């Protein structure tokens, strides 16, 4: 195993404490720290020591794909690491968004090939399914809930302008597309008036509180109302949410480990100052009710849990070693990225052992040797989903 040094993205919604605390640094940090990236994504690649220098993992994976990826991963995904592991720390709501499936991503990337970078929805030809596992209490919006429940939540504000949206939702799932299109397509000149009427309404309860909170963070943004069409999820540490293609979602607050297919294709609909493309978002959305977005971990052995997902780009395991289970051996073929999320652990992929403390990471090459983890602490292990 080799030390892996991941960059921290300083997006404005980031926390000034969560990642610093994980890494044992002073709090508050100098600025917002939103995401720690541990992968070979060209937007912010992690680095590995080579001859006294820290070299981009992108370059190593490209130039030495046989060593880092192995035959099976290379044949399936080409000369790229198919997954990206992150620590995400949100102090403010993120954008209302969804991601394309693989076919949509390929077609969109080809269709936009001539556009300037700032006018593109598709920056690569890959899909971007995501799994997030909470490290702290975590709040998110994820997947459409029962439209009838959403209709009653909107009707409670007593705002006449929302009547067409309420009527569409009362028709059930068939009305979801109309409701989302109507809200996100609300005339710009009337958005502040609409949100002001909603915020001033005498409605109370969690739904009203959520809308007022989002409307305060993003004045005049109808995404604050679209939020009521989604499940409002509150995770405890260890619970996860799975976000497949076409799933509308937004993170609101908290710190978690996120793993995804290595893509940056995001279709945004609101709750953001970034580029929004409502038409393209509506094209990729799946207008169907998600019964339960929360995924509890499944135990697969002493000290080992995982959250199974139906893709082969990635898999995520959590390992806890302590006095009761001082050592774990994982038969997971490489490449493998390990993040220590607490305590002190030693990781050994057969090519070399390395000790990690909280917030440190390591990477192992394409070896088929079991990954051994010893010590007293917790680790998240990211691999491809190929078995």
47: how many CB neighbours lie within 10 A of its CB?
Answer: 18
Estimate the crossing angle of helix 163-170 against helix 176-184, to 10 degrees.
Answer: 160
268 is catalytic: yes
Specify the length of the chain in residues.
Answer: 387
User: Given 212, 268, 318, 320, which residue is catalytic?
Assistant: 268
CA nearest to 267, candidates 173, 132, 127: 127
Q: Quick check: 363 and 1 in contact, CB under 8 A?
A: yes
Rounded-to-integer distance, Cα 90 and Cα 241, Å: 16
Which tokens is 55 given?
């070299």
**CA distances, 316 to each of 30, 130, 162, 351 (Å):** 31, 11, 42, 22
CA nearest to 208, candidates 270, 138, 158: 158
Strands 83-90, 138-144: parallel, antiparallel or unpaired by DSSP? unpaired
Rounded-to-integer distance, Cα 244 and Cα 247, Å: 6
Q: Quick check: 122 and 98 in contact, CB under 8 A?
A: no
Which bin fits 350, alpha (ψ -120 to 50), beta or left (φ > 0)? left
R_g of the chain computed on alpha carbons: 22
The residues that are catalytic are 268
């Amino acid at each position: 195993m080799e030390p892996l040094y991941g960059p921290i993205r300083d997006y404005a919604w980031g926390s000034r404490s969560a990642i610093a605390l994980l890494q044992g640094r002073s709090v508050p940090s100098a600025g917002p720290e939103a995401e720690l990236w541990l992968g070979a994504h060209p937007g912010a690649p992690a680095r590995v020591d080579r001859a006294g220098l820290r070299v981009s993992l992108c370059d190593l994976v490209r130039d030495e794909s046989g060593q880092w990826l192995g035959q099976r991963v290379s044949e399936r995904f080409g000369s790229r690491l198919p997954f990206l592991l992150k620590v995400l720390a949100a102090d403010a709501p993120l954008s209302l968004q969804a991601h394309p499936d693989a076919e949509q991503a390929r077609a969109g990337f080809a269709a936009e090939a001539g556009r300037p970078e700032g006018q593109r929805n598709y920056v690569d030809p890959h899909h971007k399914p995501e799994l997030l596992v909470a490290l702290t209490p975590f709040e998110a919006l994820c997947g459409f809930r029962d439209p009838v429940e959403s209709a009653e939540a909107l009707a409670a504000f007593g705002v006449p302008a929302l009547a067409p949206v309420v009527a569409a939702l009362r028709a059930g799932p068939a009305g979801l597309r109309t409701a989302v299109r109507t809200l996100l397509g609300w005339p710009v000149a009337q958005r502040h008036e609409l949100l002001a009427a909603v915020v001033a309404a005498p409605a109370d309860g969690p739904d009203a509180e959520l809308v007022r909170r989002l409307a305060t963070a993003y004045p005049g943004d109808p995404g604050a109302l679209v939020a009521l069409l989604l499940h409002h999820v509150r995770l405890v540490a260890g619970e996860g949410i799975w976000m497949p293609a076409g799933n509308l979602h937004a993170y609101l607050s908290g710190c978690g480990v996120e793993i995804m297919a290595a893509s940056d294709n995001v279709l945004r609909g609101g709750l953001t100052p970034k580029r929004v493309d409502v038409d393209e978002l509506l094209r990729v959305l799946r207008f169907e009710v998600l019964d339960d977005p929360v995924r509890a971990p499944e135990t697969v052995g002493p000290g080992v849990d995982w959250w199974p997902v139906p893709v082969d780009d990635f898999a995520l395991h959590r390992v806890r070693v302590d006095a009761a289970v001082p050592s774990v051996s994982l038969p997971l073929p490489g490449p493998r990225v390990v993040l220590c999320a607490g305590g002190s652990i030693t990781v050994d992929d057969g090519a070399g052992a390395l000790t990690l403390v909280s917030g440190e990471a390591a990477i192992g090459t394409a070896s088929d040797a079991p990954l051994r983890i010893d010590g007293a602490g917790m680790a998240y292990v990211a691999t491809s989903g190929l078995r």
